[in-house]
Structure 1
Amino acid sequence: MKVILFCQNNYAFGILEPIKEVLEVNNDDFIWFIKEHIYNDFPFKSDKHTTKIADLRTYKSDVIFVPGNEVPHYLRGLKTQIFHGLAGEKKGHFRIRHYFDLYLTQGPYFTDKFNELKKEHKNFDVIETGWPKLDIYGKDKNKYANYKTELLKTYHAEKVILYAPTFSPKLTSGPHLVNQIKQLANKHPEYIILLKFHPLMAKEWLDVYKALAETTQNIIFQEEKNIIKFLLVADLLVSDTSSVIYEFILLDKPVITFKSISENINWENSNDYNALETLVKINLENDPFSQSRAYINSQFHPYNDGKSAERMVETVRTYIKVNGVPEKRNISFFRRLKIHSIFGKS
């Protein structure tokens, strides 16, 4: 089986890495496609890879795994959407753009909604597999335990707090929590506050938080691309309307959000940015939403066996064996124009 691992943003690397590992074990052939603007961040340069769509044309793949919104319709291969997050409330998550033959969903909440859309559009299939980015939860949840121990020891701290907001200007808490995070750090040296921002966050706010970290001992601005490391070591997450909330809740740890638009809020959510310090104390000491998190675990990602990547690979292998490999996907004139503007003509 010949596979393309299709990356438009650097968050795709951590999602696709477990699939790459399964392909290697199976001796399947694969190639990474990397958009040029993220090439410097690409961590697997010893693997076969390209930044040119023309190379993918000649590669003639059987399957294309895509944790993003678009893929060229004219490429050979089963165009497979594997998603870049779990935030179903975000604008566009359930939008059918008609670029994909197959949607591999993370859990029943997503599967049910996409099956309803399948009945309406009748031009794609839906199969639930789990999400490969979270395979580490089932395989090696304590991978960074030593890192956390050293971190706490170095800073003479007791708890790790992760601040990871979304980038969307209408939804992000970034502009509103600068002073509150500074105050929290200064008043509570027993906390280490890790800052981890989405790669599309506005530069002006990245600069503000970098400056804050440079002048505050127990605030650390993290530049690593894969957020999983920090989800695993953190004791509490602070966010807003971000997919990372669900990734963290699946670790059964407390979350605080500000002005979240989620339709399934099973964690601490507040409209008062000035309540940050109080809410951190309450949730670290009492964890009042511990019982409520069960819904997210059962509906958003009920798989804790660490085998979602395996299921994905075997699912597409079976699918093309039964249905064949699509040479291209038929889409509207408008959609073709959009693909041509992003990736060039066929």
Structure 2
Amino acid sequence: MKVVLFCQYPYAFGILEPIMKVLKQRNCDYLWFLTENLKESFPFKDEPHTFDLEKLVSYESDAIFCPGNEVPHYVRGVKTQIFHGLAGEKKGHFKIRHYFDLYLTQGPFFTRRFNRMKRRHRNFEVVETGWPKLDIYGKKHDKYNSDKATLLEKHKASKMILYAPTFSPSLTSASFLLKELEKLAQEKDYLILIKFHDKMAAELIQQFRKLAADNKNIIFEEEPNIVKFLLMADLLISDTSSVVYEFLLLDKPVVTFKNNSENILWSDIKDASQLQQAVEKNLQQDPYREERKEIISSYHPYSDGKSAERMVDAVEQYIAEHGVPERRRLPFLRRRKMNRMFRRKL
């Protein structure tokens, strides 16, 4: 089986890496395709990869794993949506764009919704597999324990707090919580890590870099894969971001600012001034311990670290039953959008 690992943003690396490892174990042929903006940040430069769309087309793949929302309709292969997050309440998560043959879902909450849409559209399949980015939760849960201990000792702190907001201008908490995080950093017992989304506004990035430079208990993290910081942190501060669910699945407390979920099963504040009190309460009492069990069972009940394996199995099964599509049929306007987005030479 020839497979494309399709990347448009740095967050895709951590999602696709476990799939690459499975493909290696099974002696499958694979190729990373990357858009031009990823030339400097691609971490697997010794792996087969290309930035050339024509090479992607001529590769004639059997399957394409895509964590983003778009994939060129004219590239051969089973176009497989594997998602870039777990925030089902975010606009667009359940939008059917008709680019994909196969949706591989993270847990029952997502599977039910996509199966309902499958019955309506009847042009894709749905298989529940779990999410490969979280395979490390089942295999190397304690991988960064020594890194955490070293950082806490260096900063003379006992608790590590991760601040990871969404980039969406209408949803991000970054501009609201800047001063409150500075106040929180005065609590010498806390070490605060700042991890921004790849698409965060440049102005906010600059402001928070300065915040970290001015406060010895705040670190602005540049590493692209957030999983390391999720595993290390004792508590997450966020907003309406899918990282909330990734952290809850580790069975650790979360504080959000104005989250827009219809079913909030963690601590959510509506006023920025409540942040410090909420952090202290959740670290000391963990009042939503029982509610997290509902999130885990519904959003991602897989703790065996084998979601990437299930994804490769699902694609192989799809090919066995349906064959390999040469291209995806799309309306004219969507075809034109793909041609413009990926600058196809016609």
The reply to whether residue 130 of structure 1 matches residue 117 of structure 2 is no
SS of the residue corresponding to residue 193 of structure 1 reads: strand
Q: Distance in 1 between matches of 2:37 and 2:342?
A: 13
SS of the residue corresponding to residue 292 of structure 1 reads: helix
Q: Which residue of 2 aligns with 1:172?
A: 172
Q: Distance in 2 between matches of 1:178 and 1:72?
A: 39
Q: Which residue of 1 aligns with 2:271?
A: 272
Q: Distance in 2 between matches of 1:39 and 1:250?
A: 32
Q: Distance in 2 between matches of 1:183 and 1:56?
A: 50
The reply to whether residue 300 of structure 1 matches residue 305 of structure 2 is no
Q: Distance in 2 between matches of 1:57 and 1:268?
A: 48
Q: Distance in 1 between matches of 2:155 and 2:270?
A: 31
Q: Which amino acid aligns with 2:29?
A: D
Q: Distance in 2 between matches of 1:223 and 1:267?
A: 27
Q: Distance in 1 between matches of 2:184 and 2:328?
A: 52
Moved over 4 A (4+): none
Q: Which residue of 1 aligns with 2:212?
A: 213
The reply to whether residue 316 of structure 1 matches residue 315 of structure 2 is yes
Q: Which residue of 2 aligns with 1:153?
A: 153
Q: Which residue of 2 aligns with 1:283?
A: 282
Q: Which residue of 2 aligns with 1:29?
A: 29
Q: Which residue of 2 aligns with 1:331?
A: 330
Where do 5+ consecutive residues of structure 1 fail to align?
none
Q: Which residue of 1 aligns with 2:244?
A: 245
Q: Distance in 1 between matches of 2:328 and 2:55?
A: 18
Q: Distance in 1 between matches of 2:99 and 2:269?
A: 37
Report sequence identity in percent. 59
Shift, 1:270, TM fit: 1.0
The reply to whether residue 230 of structure 1 matches residue 237 of structure 2 is no
Residue deviations 1:153-174 (CA, integer Å, cap 9, x gap): 1111100000000000000000
Q: Distance in 1 between matches of 2:226 and 2:324?
A: 34
Q: Distance in 1 between matches of 2:313 and 2:262?
A: 33
Q: Distance in 2 between matches of 1:344 and 1:95?
A: 24
Residue deviations 1:8-53 (CA, integer Å, cap 9, x gap): 0000000000000000011000000011112211000000000111
SS of the residue corresponding to residue 306 of structure 1 reads: coil
Q: Which residue of 2 aligns with 1:74?
A: 74
Shift, 1:322, TM fit: 1.6
Q: Which amino acid aligns with 2:234?
A: D
Shift, 1:264, TM fit: 2.2
Q: Which residue of 2 aligns with 1:163?
A: 163
Q: Which amino acid aligns with 2:12?
A: A
The reply to whether residue 6 of structure 1 matches residue 6 of structure 2 is yes
Q: Which amino acid aligns with 1:269?
A: D
The reply to whether residue 58 of structure 1 matches residue 63 of structure 2 is no
Q: Which amino acid aligns with 1:181?
A: L
Q: Distance in 1 between matches of 2:36 and 2:103?
A: 26
SS of the residue corresponding to residue 289 of structure 2 reads: coil
Q: Which residue of 2 aligns with 1:200?
A: 199
Q: Which residue of 2 aligns with 1:119?
A: 119
The reply to whether residue 90 of structure 1 matches residue 90 of structure 2 is yes
Q: Which residue of 2 aligns with 1:260?
A: 259
Q: Which amino acid aligns with 1:326?
A: P
Q: Which amino acid aligns with 2:105?
A: T
Q: TM-score, normalised by structure 2?
A: 0.99
Root mean square deviation, CA, Å: 0.6
Shift, 1:263, TM fit: 1.8
SS of the residue corresponding to residue 93 of structure 1 reads: coil
Shift, 1:271, TM fit: 0.5
The reply to whether residue 101 of structure 1 matches residue 104 of structure 2 is no
Q: Which residue of 1 aligns with 2:339?
A: 340
Q: Distance in 2 between matches of 1:335 and 1:163?
A: 37
Residue deviations 1:203-246 (CA, integer Å, cap 9, x gap): 00000000000010000000000000000000000000000000
Q: Which residue of 1 aligns with 2:45?
A: 45
Shift, 1:314, TM fit: 1.1
Aligned length: 345
Q: Distance in 2 between matches of 1:168 and 1:64?
A: 27
Q: Distance in 1 between matches of 2:38 and 2:270?
A: 35
Q: Distance in 1 between matches of 2:113 and 2:333?
A: 25
Q: Distance in 2 between matches of 1:274 and 1:178?
A: 11
